[in-house]
Structures are given as structure tokens and as C-alpha cells.
A and B are shown apart, each in its own frame.
Chain A
Amino acid sequence: MPKTELKEYIVMRNREIENIRDLDVYLASGGYAMAKQALTSMTPAAIIDEVKKSGLRGRGGAGFPTGVKWSFVPKELNPKYLVVNADESEPGTFNNHEIIDENPHQLLEGIVISAFAIGANVAYIYIRGEFAYGARFLEQKIAEARARGLIGKNLFGTGYDVEIYVHRGAGAYICGEETALLESLEGKIGQPRLKPPFPAVAGLYAKPTVVNNVETLTNVPRIIEKGADWFRSFGTEKSPGTKAVSISGHVKKPGNYEIPLGITIREFIFDWAGGMRDPNLPLKFIIPGGASSNWLTEQHLDLPMTWDDMAAAGTMLGSGAMVVLDTSVPVVRAALKVDEFFKHESCGKCSPCREGTHFLVKVWERIDEGHGRVGDIELLADVGKQMLGKCFCPLGDSSVSAVNSAIKFFRPELDAAIDAQH
């Protein structure tokens, strides 16, 4: 099958317009015209309606419809906040990184339009602490736009004010979870909050707050410019639009790709990313949606990349992060590394996750080091069972993905690893 063509870029427009990171180039390509149009000729309700009609779903992982999320904000409560989740930390994900570095003004324009739509006068970009350069860069870009009257007071003479501030995290994956992010933005340790209340009603400083991912907001100016129907001409009915997907591991051309939603995993790996790196080392397994997701193998290559198809196959599209691994990778080591991540990043709030991730790593580690015990695979499965669905937030559950996937697809390899040790 020939490679599906992407008609045009929606979010990674830096790939077709050189130096779009520069304000003058962005303006010359029609930049901030949509913010002007939205603020001067549309009501907030009309913007929300257009985004709802577009079917735009949150690009951070959950895939929740963005317009619906916005409509949950109670009109009568003020102030309201827009918080941008730029805490890109899911292992395998690096597409927000590119948007921030290469197409920052489209993100900022999306923030202006979205803040206006929900009635917020302040937006915070919560960016992971490791993106120190990205944070400074965004601050410079905000200052440039501010100097031209594109961010700040009385925008386009409408009387609407919006300030955008960059707030750096300090190294904690859990802060990608929206309520933990809000805790961190309030200067506390990043532990998730009990929901409800949801941030739309009581978020930052207990005020109505919308938390949206970088890529999600970067879509917004184009939806306003070209309309919901145009947006829906990309992707599938339930997963309209495109997705910036990061691919890494043992493929020839690792990197970011903006794909129309709905292409198959096979097409993505073999036509877009050039296939496997070493012709002598075939595909062993795929971590399709970041470290949190259940693994897939060769039998799943014809699965379409949409939120719903991936969910139906027992995994997820997540934040768009595909890690492709070849037969040189030992399953035990891969599972150990994934669970080491979750152990390191567990916030410590709930015991199933705090203790469970430690148990998992301890058992994986002894198998990896050659001291596995008979019954260890059953032990891993049992610990996983005690964690799944019992943790305070999705982080704990995510650590079980590696366990269940390894057992489901590679039981003989696991058994052989332990047998060889006795």
C-alpha cells in the first residue's frame, strides 16, 4: 500500500515554513490573524462550539474532547485560569519539545484564543524543568508578541486582557497528571488531588481551570481559521485531525511525524519511519503509546492509530509515543527499565503504587541479575493484580503494563530466564 499523504501540516508547520519560530515569519504566514478574528468577531460560545464540532480530542494522552472540557467551566465563577500542560515526560514522547522549540507562536496564539473562549485572563505554561531552554525561549517569544500588542492588555482593541507566564517544574513525571500539576504550580509537591471536584470547577487556587496539552492548543488557531469541517477532513470520524507522533528505538528514521489519525502501525513504522534499523534484527515488540501503554507485537501491525482502535486492542495511543524494539532486546531488561521508571516517579501518596512499584522492580531486578526464583512470574502477576485499579491515579496502574505485556507475549522467554538460573 502506498504511504498515506498528509495534505498539510496542522501543528508541525515548522516542517513546511522555515523559521516559523520567528514572529515576523509567523505573522507573514497568517499568524495571530485568527486570534484577532476570534476576539473581534466571535463570541466565546461560538469558539467553544467550533472546537466541539471539530471533534478535537486532548493530545496529552486521555483523548478527552477539548470543546466539551471547556464547556464544563462555570461562567459565574471568577477568576478562571488556563493552564498549559508542557510537562512532556512520558518515556518515548518528544513532540511537544519540537512544537515549543520550532513553532512556539502557534502555541501562544492557541493559548490566547482558548483563554478568551473560557474567560481566563491569565494562562500559565507549566513546562517540565528539564526544558530550561524551552522555557527561556517561550519567555522570549511571549515578550516579542507582547511588544507587538498580541499578548497583554486590551487585545485588538476589544478590552480583553490576557497574560501568559511560563512556570518551570523541577523534575517529576507525576506533574503531567493535571491535578498534580496544579499542586506543583501552587508550590507544593506534585501529588494528585482527589477528583471530583474537577479542575474545571476547582482547579488552580481552587478556581475554575482548564488544563490543556501543548499540541491540543496548537491545533486551535487552525480550527478557527479553516473550520471544523476542514479539520474533520483529516483522520477518522471519532479521532479527527492529525497527531504529532514520536517514534524511537530501533527504526531507521526515529523522530517526530505528524500523521493523519487512522493510519496503521505497520504503515507508520515501515513507510514513515523507514522500517527496522538492522535488517538482521526483526521487530520484537512495540510500546505504542508511551511507557504506560500495554505492548503490541507483530500481530498488531494492522491496527489503526486512533484512540478508540488502540483502546479496543487493550492498549492506547497515549500522548503519541511509539517505541519500537528489535530482537536484541531482552524482555526482562525492558520490563525492568519501564518499572524502574515508575518506581522512580511514584509520588508516594498511595501505598499500592509506592510499595507495588518497589516490589515489581525488586523481582525484575533479581531475574535480570540471574537470581530469579521459581514462582517469580506468578509473583509479578500477583503484585500487578493487587495494584491494577487500586491506585490513586493512573501512574500505579501504568507500571503493571510492562508486567502483563511481558507475561502475555513472552512467557516462554521469562520462564527460560528463570529456568536457566536453576
Chain B
Amino acid sequence: MLYEQHKAEIDEILARYPVDRKRSALLPLLYLAQDVYGRLDRDSIREVAEILDLPYTDVFEVVGFYTLFYNEEVGKVVLDVCDDVPCCFCGAEELVADLENRLGIKAGETTKDKVFTLRRVKCIAACDQAPVLQANLEFHNRVLPDKVEAMLAKLRNDVESGKPVSISGRLAER
């Protein structure tokens, strides 16, 4: 299914690596599968494993290792707030609390309407922009209290207006 429906993209990915090293395509294919299926459940993992002739367990292990692969259901927009040093001393804790309050969930949870998932993450290499978050891997810099409401409204509107969503950042544009 995945291969048939995304043949051109998958073939282009496979062509980047030597023919006898197609396992290298695993991370990009998992990103694709995650976007198509919304998360990496057992069936989608199995499908990727079959495309690359890999044992299912090898792929399962890789999915578990990396933080940007989601086993569990996530919302259409994954909000990743950096709470590392120095962000945690520059407004990140206040931002997490504010988002939890507005969304009615705790970090690590998804809203009932499945629009937002909120996560605390480690350094995302934008420390001078603290407090900083990524929404589906798009940076939102200096998310000070007065910016939160408008940011959430825009993100929600993007989802509701049917704009293509990529939780894996596969379709990222500047």
C-alpha cells in the first residue's frame, strides 16, 4: 500500500543509497509512513520492514529509539517545547504551564479533539530564542505569554482549513 501509493517518493529515497544498503532508507521511510498513517503502529512498521526486507523487530527497535517517531496516537499538531538548560530558566516552564492550561492537558498528552499533542523536549538548537517550541517541527521563537493565544488559533485554523499536515516535517517549507 505505502509503496504503491508513494512509489516515486520511495524510489527517490532509495536511490540516495547504494543498492545493497537500502536499510539506510529506514529513517526517511518511517517519516513517510508516520505522515501517511498518523503514527507508527504495528501494521505501518511491518509495511516499512517489508519494503526494505528487514525483520519487523529491527524496525520496531529503531522506532523506539528516536524521539521523533510516534508509536502512540498524536494530534495533528505536535507541540515540542524545549525545557532544557537554558530555556528552563528563560520562560520555558511558564510556557509549558500556559499551554497546559489553555489546552486542558498535561505535557505528554493529546487534546480530546486530537488537534494538539504537547511534549517537553530536550535542546532544539535555538537557545537564544527562548522560550522556544516547534509545531510539527516548525520553529516558533520567543513564545512570550502575549503570543500564545494567537499562535494556537493559527495552528488550529490551519488544521481545520484542511492545510496539508506533516507531523514528521516532511513537507517543511521556509
Contact = CB atoms under 8 A, between A and B. Distances in A.
Interface of A: 88-94, 96-97, 124, 128-133, 135-137, 165, 167-173, 184-190, 205, 246-250, 254-256, 287, 291, 321, 323, 325, 328-329, 333-334, 337-338, 341, 344-345, 347
Contacts of A168: 27-28, 31
B25 interface: yes
A137 B169 CA distance: 12
Nearest to B64: A189
Nearest to B66: A170
Contacts of B128: 94, 246-248, 254-256
Interface string B144-174: 0000000000000000000000001110111
7 contacts: A91-B86, A93-B125, A132-B168, A171-B121, A185-B24, A249-B86, A341-B84
B130 to A, nearest CB: 7
B16 A187 contact: no
Contacts of A88: 125
Interface residues of B, number: 47
Contacts of A129: 27, 66, 68, 137, 169
Main secondary structure of the interface of A (DSSP, over half): mixed
B65 A135 contact: no
B61 interface: yes
B3 interface: no
Given A92-B85, A171-B121, A321-B127, 7 more contacts: A88-B125, A91-B122, A132-B170, A184-B27, A250-B90, A337-B84, A341-B122
Contact of A254 (B25, B68, B127, B168): B127
Contacts of B16: 124, 165, 167
Given A136-B172, A205-B21, A249-B89, A91 B123 contact: yes
Given A91-B122, A165-B16, A170-B66, A248 B31 contact: no
B23 A172 contact: no
B97 interface: no
Contact of B123 (A89, A255, A328): A89
